[in-house]
Amino acid sequence: MEILTQILPFVFLIAIMYFVIIRPQNQQAKKHKEMVEALTKGDKVVTSGGLIVEIKKVEEQFFAVKFNNDTEARLVKDAVARKYEDEA
């Protein structure tokens, strides 16, 4: 019984950490992954570096993106921060 009273506070703290830190991070990562998988040709995205680019082609691990009329590059899917919505 004494061991249970000593372990109980640690179990309680671990449960709090799970619900306050770990679970929300997992949910956010899942949402981000779903958003990246739903991107298609023509969508505009903001990269983790802050660039706004347009997707030209969806590949397995990369996006072929267009910066402007002359510049195209490949972007790793992990570098997409969010979908760009025009503030018009």
Output the domain CATH number for residue 32. 2.30.30.140
Nearest residue to 61 via CA among 44, 83, 88, 37 = 37
Overall number of domains in the chain: 1
Q: Is residue 10 in some structural domain?
A: yes
Q: Is residue 76 in some structural domain?
A: yes
Q: Which residues of the chain have pLDDT under 70?
A: 87-88
Q: Is residue 55 in some structural domain?
A: yes
Q: Is residue 71 in some structural domain?
A: yes
What pLDDT is stored for residue 83 in this prediction? Answer: 94
Q: Is residue 88 in some structural domain?
A: no
Please tell me the chain's helix, strand, coil percentages from 3-state DSSP, rounded to the nearest 5: 45, 30, 25
86 contacts: CB under 8 Å, gap ≥ 6: 44
Q: Which domain holds residue 37?
A: 2-83
pTM of the model as a whole = 0.76
